[in-house]
Amino acid sequence: MSDHVQCATCGVERARPLPEVCPICADERQFVPRSGQRWTGPAEAAERGARLEFVDLEPGVVGVTQRDCPGIGQKPALIRTEHGNVMVEAPNFIDDAAVSAVRELGGISAIIASHPHMYGLQSVWSRAFGDCPVHVSAADEHWLGVRPTNTVVWEGRREEIEILPGVRASQPGGHFPGSAVVHWTAPDGRGVLFSGDTIGATADPRWVTFMRSFPVWIPLSGSVVQRIADHVERYEFDRLYGNFGSGIPDGAQDAVRRSAERYADWVGGRYDHLT
């Protein structure tokens, strides 16, 4: 693990020879800091005090908080099922303590990132758990900085995949062409949607939003947002978890529908008189 390299800004792993600039950060959806490109790795991050913290979000869902880690600070989620565990989004840090903590939670049977910004150290996490499969959308496969040994490339705009029984994924697109959501049926029988940056959870738990880029605030069109909302109608879900700690504790499906309509109205000019 100690010689693994990742971008200090986005936290995504990268194979040698290293490019002059991280391609993910050079893309318009992300950014290269004014201080310039810097590369790091788990060993250096550990010296700086990096660590992962695990907290129960609800029965069957463990949230992962990254403390002093490289990258943009996403908060992955571990879905625990009787058929195995699925890691949604990959942490940007790994050490023996983190691996041990996940082993006590039942390990990892599969990894899926919603989009390339969330790839983190997915190949290292996969290797730590027996080269468990890492699901990567075909549309975004070219963004891989390191190809995990057990990479599963999948299409999913019209179809969906079952990662494990009760855990499914599909690709509404939007933020990236292959941007994915993960749906899980919780022990209480209700659906839970892990939305990544495909559907952005806001500070107000009654609403969500949609963006091509959150860091530099590039919007999507109203038609794309409606397409995303229509896509997730295939699922029944009461709760929603974003990838940065915000979420909707109930009524999430209605919130997505209402938010898409509001978004389309604003970008379509319906409320221009208020501006």
| Residue 1 pLDDT greater than 90, yes or no | no
User: Which residues share a beta bridge with 208?
Assistant: 201
Percentage of residues of the chain with pLDDT beyond 70: 99
Q: How confident is the model at residue 2 (pLDDT cuts 50, 70, 90)?
A: low
Write the pLDDT tens digit of every residue in 61-74: 999 999 999 999 99
Look at the block and give the residue holding tokens 């879900």: 237
Mean pLDDT of 126-140: 98
Architecture of domain 6-38+50-274: 4-Layer Sandwich (3.60)
Mean pLDDT of 205-214: 96
Q: What is the DSSP letter of 199?
A: S
Please tell me the predicted confidence (pLDDT) of residue 158: 78
Q: How confident is the model at residue 86 (pLDDT cuts 50, 70, 90)?
A: very high
Write the pLDDT tens digit of every residue in 220-249: 999 999 999 999 999 999 999 999 999 999
| Residue 5 pLDDT greater than 80, yes or no | yes
Rounded Cα–Cα distance for residues 94 and 115 (Å)? 20
Please tell me the predicted confidence (pLDDT) of residue 3: 72
Residues 107/83, Cβ–Cβ less than 8 Å? no
Q: Kind and range of the H or E element at 125?
A: helix 122-128
Please tell me the predicted confidence (pLDDT) of residue 156: 79
The phi-psi region of residue 2 (left if phi > 0; otherwise alpha if psi is between -120 and 50; otherwise beta) is alpha
Per DSSP (E only), the strands in 39-148 are 39-40, 51-58, 61-67, 77-81, 84-88, 110-112, 134-137
Peptide bond between residue 177 and the one before it cis (omega within 30 degrees of 0): no
pTM over 0.95: yes
Please tell me the predicted confidence (pLDDT) of residue 131: 98
User: Which residues share a beta bridge with 137?
Assistant: 154
Q: Environment class of residue 138 by beta-carbon count within 10 Å: exposed (0-12), middle (13-18) or buried (19+)?
A: middle
With H, G, I as helix, E, B as strand and everything else as coil, classify residue 120: coil
Please tell me the predicted confidence (pLDDT) of residue 182: 98
Please tell me the predicted confidence (pLDDT) of residue 225: 98
Q: Where are the domains of the chain?
A: 6-38+50-274
Write the pLDDT tens digit of every residue in 154-187: 997 778 999 999 999 999 999 999 999 999 999 9
Write the pLDDT tens digit of every residue in 31-42: 999 999 999 999
| Residue 49 pLDDT greater than 60, yes or no | yes
